[in-house]
Amino acid sequence: MRVTVIGCAGSFPGPDSPASSYLVQAEGFNLLLDIGNGAIGSLQRFHPLYDIDAICISHLHADHCLDLCGYWVARTYRPGGPAPVIPVYGPDDTARRMAKAYDLPEEPGMTGTFDFRPLERGPMTVGPFQITTALMPHPIEAFAFRIEHGGKVLAYSGDTGVSDALVEHARDADLFLCEASFLEGDNPPALHLTAREAADHAARARARRLVLTHLVPWNDADASLAEAKGGTYDGPIELAHVGAVYEL
């Protein structure tokens, strides 16, 4: 399994990164995990625009889903004919919300281009991947992902506050992509993690490698990394950056 960071800025794009998006590949199958604002521009630096086989959306905040609008245009009006319909897995309301985002009639909305499917709570098979999701504490329905292939495990937090379920979801993961939106301070509950909390979750989960992501542009990312390294996790920690590739 190969993971490429397409976008890792939290909440809104920064000068060096779009919002959340990750390309997960195995056996020739290309899965896009989140498609936040700016993602499809960055995607074209690393991968052919149309060569995506499925999309998974963690939740319906703009910084995780909104570039589905631009991607709908790209696939629907491609010169030479529309690109093949691909599945989009997301929260139950994804099809309606995306239609509203582009001001399309709800029927058919984007369904001529995307086959919207609800994220299943139990294990589901997407291409060569086994994917399980877990609900995270966040102001709207938000999922973490555990993606398994060839005995390797990628865990992705999506957006979340402190969560025992996230620890279980990331158990023994080879790579843990964990959000680190906040610096230590007086942060609201059930919204986001600090970098220190991300590292503590990684320690409890015994994840083998931690990559801090969803880095909010108004923070100093080096301060986030320092706070994470001051925690209880003794494995490798690094900051996500656009174009980073991880081979699992």
**Where do contacts with Zn ion occur on this chain (CB under 5 A)?**
61, 63, 159
Q: Which is nearer to Zn ion, 64 or 149 (CB)?
A: 64
Q: Which is nearer to Zn ion, 140 or 226 (CB)?
A: 140
CB of 83 to Zn ion, least distance (A): 27
Q: Which is nearer to Zn ion, 25 or 133 (CB)?
A: 133
**Three-state SS across the chain?**
CEEEEEECECCCCECCECECEEEEEECCEEEEECCCCCHHHHHHHHCCCCCCCEEECCCCCHHHHCCHHHHHHHHHCCCCCCCCCEEEEECCCHHHHHHHHCCCCCCCCCCCCEEEEECCCCCEEECCEEEEEEECCCCCCCEEEEEEECCEEEEECCCCCCCHHHHHHCCCCCEEEEECCECCCCCCCCCCCEHHHHHHHHHHHCCCCEEEECECCCCCHHHHHHHHHCCCCCCCEEECCCCCEEEC
Q: Which is nearer to Zn ion, 1 or 33 (CB)?
A: 33
CB of 112 to Zn ion, least distance (A): 28
CB of 97 to Zn ion, least distance (A): 13
CB of 45 to Zn ion, least distance (A): 22
